[in-house]
Amino acid sequence: MAEQMWGGRFAKSTDEMINEFQASINFDKRMYHEDIAGSIAHAKMLNKVGILNDEDTNAIITGLKNILIKIEQGNFDFSVDLEDIHMNIEKRLTEAIGDAGGRLHTARSRNDQVALDTHMYVRRETIEVAKLIKELQLAFADTAKKYKDVIMPGYTHLQRAQPILFSHHMMAYFSMLSRDFSRFKGVYERCDIMPLGAGALAGTTFPIDRQFVAEQLNFDAIYSNSLDAVSDRDYIMEFLSAASILMIHLSRISEEIIFWCSREFSFVELDDAHCTGSSMMPQKKNPDVSELVRGKTGRVIGHLMAMLTTVKGLPLAYNKDLQEDKEGLFDAIDTIKFSLAVYAQLIRGMKVKADIMLKAVREDFSNATDLADYLVKKGMPFRKAHSVSGHAVHYCIEHKKWLEDLTMDEFKQMSDLFEDDIYEAIKPETCVKNRNSYGGTSYQQVDMQLELADKILNDEQAQLDIYKDKQIKL
């Protein structure tokens, strides 16, 4: 049994089973870069205020950088006995440089240390998520440009409603992802607050310089209350909330793609690289990527619910319950990053069957609203026009016709306002073109959406460039 660094108070060693139960090293070791960066900044601060001399400071920094190299080369053995990433690194450092390593923890607690590491880790991963969101947005925008004039049925209640442009549909998901990007930008702001210096809960008696550490680690703000600093997990809950909303958006497009690539719709063909077959039925081509993303959505939402439940009854300040903040967070990060990356490939590899989409529009009554609008523009009150249009649909169903098939005599029986221009008014292309209100599905409005998309993508890249400049390099 290894000697615990906090064991002075105890007459007995921790039971082996309890040791394994409370250890977090198996999952928090991924924060090694943040832990080492934070310790180097802390050592420099202790040197600046006269707590550490130059010799000890240099030994600590060199020792920590050597540990970083060993970890990245896979030559570092993590020990469950040492509980977490912080103790593993500190123990190895002390073994390598002696008493100087033991001085590193002066004016610091594992409570504010783990808070620091987690803030920095979430900050870094938020940038990676934002990059992937932007890449998926670009995939949607490029696909919209590629199939810009393709007409498809628009749906409400999963019933064909009105003709729309497929590009308009793609840009709806672009807009959703724009909000996702903005949400993660907010997450970044809330995790860009430095907790180190709060100590276990009440600060420290040493003359530390928290502003210096914040500058070393590129934090824009510092917690002004030590209790809040060590107990705050709002930024994790916010990350998981943003992640859940993002996954819901991916789940919605997944649901549509699963429909669209079925034989019943046959609107799109997915690339073979993004599908699997059946072990029994040789004809099958299954949209497994979309189904998996749809399924993983519940997993990410579950992590949010678990975190909310964990925090809801905790008194200030630190409680061991908060160790439960990481596994779900780490899994959510891995899940959304993979889902975003694979979806960008899927969207780019998707082939749109324009002829089948247009056929679905022509062989339907999704132009019934346009027939009613035609009558309104001729002077008929909308409620009456709606009734006339509904009667026309009913008549067509009874006589196995579409609206375009009606003769002028049949139209005239329903209203004297119908003229020959009705045939042009209810063509799918006209139905789309005339919906030219701001944000509508017209060709002109979609062009405007694509122009706006370019600006949004440029603005997002500018924000990512700012984040890139703040990344910690060791």
CATH number, domain containing residue 93 = 1.10.275.10
For residue 171, what pLDDT is reported? 98
- What pTM value is reported for the model? 0.92
> Is residue 48 located within the same domain as residue 74?
yes
258: CATH: 1.20.200.10
Domain shared by 99 and 118, yes or no: no
Residue ranges with strand state E in 108-179: 151-156, 159-165
> For residue 21, how many C-alpha atoms fall within 13 Å in the half-sphere facing its CB?
7
* 10, pLDDT greater than 90: no
pLDDT at 23 over 70: no
pLDDT band, residue 473 (cuts 50/70/90): confident
- Tell me whether residue 168 is one of the annotated catalytic residues: no
Is there a single domain that holds both residue 350 and residue 374?
A: no
Average pLDDT score over residue span 227-231: 98
Q: How far apart are CA 232 and CA 10, in angstroms?
A: 29
> Is 3 among the domain residues?
no
Asked if the structure places residue 160 within a domain, the reply is yes
Sequence-separated (6 or more) residues with CB below 8 Å from residue 306: 324, 328
- At 106 the pLDDT is 97
Same domain, 421 and 347: no
For residues 453 and 181, the answer to whether their CB atoms sit within 8 Å is: no
163 φ/ψ sector (left φ>0, alpha ψ -120 to 50, else beta): beta
Query: In terms of domains, do 134 and 57 share one?
Result: no
Measured in degrees and rounded to the nearest 5, phi and psi for residue 4 equal -75, 145
Token representation of residue 156: 């409400």
Q: Is residue 199 part of a domain?
A: yes
Confidence at residue 278, expressed as pLDDT on a 0 to 100 scale: 56
pLDDT at 17 (0 to 100): 56
Name the pLDDT band for 176 (thresholds 50, 70, 90): very high
| CB-neighbour burial class of residue 234 (10 A; exposed 0-12, middle 13-18, buried 19+) | middle
Catalytic residue, chosen from 79, 278, 391, 394, is 278
In a domain, 77, yes or no: yes
Tokens 């590629």 locate to 146
Check if the beta carbon of residue 132 is closer than 8 Å to that of residue 337: yes
Structure confidence at residue 60 as a pLDDT band (50, 70, 90) = very high
In this structure, are strands 221-222 and 268-269 parallel, antiparallel, or unpaired? unpaired
Tell me, yes or no, whether 332 and 380 share the same domain: no
Last residue of a domain, one of 106, 140, 169: 106
pLDDT in tens, 296-312: 999 999 999 999 999 99
* DSSP assignment of 216-266: HTT-SEE-S-HHHHHH--HHHHHHHHHHHHHHHHHHHHHHHHHHHTSTTT-
**pLDDT at 116 > cutoff 80:** yes
Mean pLDDT of 106-135: 97
**Residue 165 bridge partners (DSSP):** 151
Place of tokens 């987690």: 118
CB neighbours (10 Å) of residue 367? 25
Query: CA-based diameter of the chain, in Å?
Result: 101
The mean predicted confidence, pLDDT, of the chain is 93
Residues 370 and 278 in one domain: no
Domain count, the chain: 3
pLDDT range class, residue 15, cuts 50, 70, 90: low
What is the Cα–Cα distance from 168 to 446, expressed in whole angstroms? Answer: 6
Between 209 and 28, the higher pLDDT residue: 209
The pLDDT of residue 261 is 95
| 272 exposure class (CB count in 10 Å sphere: 0-12, 13-18, 19+) | exposed
Percent of the chain exceeding pLDDT 90 equals 87
Average pLDDT over residues 236-244: 98
* In-domain check, residue 201: yes
Rounded (to 5) percent helix, strand, coil in the chain: 65, 5, 30
The CATH code of the domain that includes 386 is 1.10.40.30
Q: Over the stretch 191-207, which tens digit does the pLDDT of each residue have?
A: 999 999 999 999 999 99
Does residue 93 fall inside a structural domain? yes
User: Percent of the chain having pLDDT more than 70?
Assistant: 93
**Over the stretch 260-316, which tens digit does the pLDDT of each residue have?**
999 999 999 999 888 776 556 656 678 999 999 999 999 999 999 999 999 999 999
Omega into 317 within 30° of 0, i.e. cis? yes
Please tell me the distance from the alpha carbon of residue 111 to that of residue 317, in angstroms, as a whole number: 9
Q: Is residue 11 part of a domain?
A: no
Nearest alpha carbon to residue 459 among 235, 176, 130: 130
Lowest mean pLDDT among 54-68, 75-89, 112-126, 216-230: 75-89
Which range of residues forms the domain containing residue 93? Answer: 16-106
Please give the residue that has the higher pLDDT: either 11 or 295.
295
- Co-location of 85 and 123 in the same domain: no
Rounded average pLDDT over 426-447: 97
In a domain, 441, yes or no: no
Backbone angles phi, psi at 17, to 5 degrees: -65, -40
One domain, residues 96 and 143: no
Q: How far is CA 204 from CA 9, 212, 244, 347, in A?
A: 20, 16, 38, 53
241 and 374 both lie in a single domain: no
Is 178 noted as a catalytic residue in this protein? no
Whether residues 140 and 56 fall in one domain:
no
Pair of tokens at residue 377: 């523009």
Handedness of CA 394, 399, 400, 406 (dihedral sign): negative
* 2 confidence band (pLDDT: 50, 70, 90): very low
Q: Which of the four pLDDT bands, split at 50, 70 and 90, describes residue 6?
A: very low
Q: Are residues 98 and 126 in the same domain?
A: no
